Amino acid sequence: MPTQKNVFISHHHGDDSHVDGFQRMLGRGDYQVRNSSVRMKPANERRVNEGRVSDNTIKRLLRMKMRWASTVVVLIGPKTHTRRWVNWEIEQAHKLGKRIVGVYLHGGTTANVPKALDDYGQAIVKWTTKGIVDAIEGKDTRFENPSGELREPVHTMATSRC
């Protein structure tokens, strides 16, 4: 029976196709990801860009969707670090006590890691099924470069067990 995990996938909307690929890849390994993240349809994106949707409305929607998830996965592509909503989502995930995992997309570099992910992430891994699943499950707390080589985390997270 496949393992099912509720996640919120934080990403730059230009990387929407990678969200689908992420879910397919993990599904082939019997790991079903139920994603609660926001996928911006063109009409909604236009409304946001025209200022017809307030930041408070967006924040409320994102928090609601994030509460449902046990883990926040941040897809790291070339423009991820420039997106203010990605950093906000990571900061909110931290406030909500969610596990935060970064995953490099093909073409993503350590320079593309959002500041909040370096501050609050528990793992950053390359695009491999085993590495991603282990990071989501908390079995691996590695901080990797896109090639899979280990790198030092920018900030060490304090952890405790009850």
* Interval 56-84: pLDDT, tens: 988 998 899 899 899 999 999 988 888 88
Quick one: which of 101, 94, 88 has its CA closest to 5?
A: 101
**Token pair of 122 as six digits:** 């528990």
pLDDT bracket for residue 120 (50, 70, 90)? very high
**Token pair of 70 as six digits:** 């046990």
Report how far apart, in Å, the C-alpha atoms of 3 and of each of 22, 28, 29, 75, 140 are: 15, 11, 9, 21, 17
- What CATH fold (topology level) applies to the domain 3-137? Rossmann fold (3.40.50)
Structure-token match 């393992």, residue found: 3
pLDDT bracket for residue 162 (50, 70, 90)? very low
- Which pLDDT value is given to residue 160? 42
**Token pair of 109 as six digits:** 């570099």
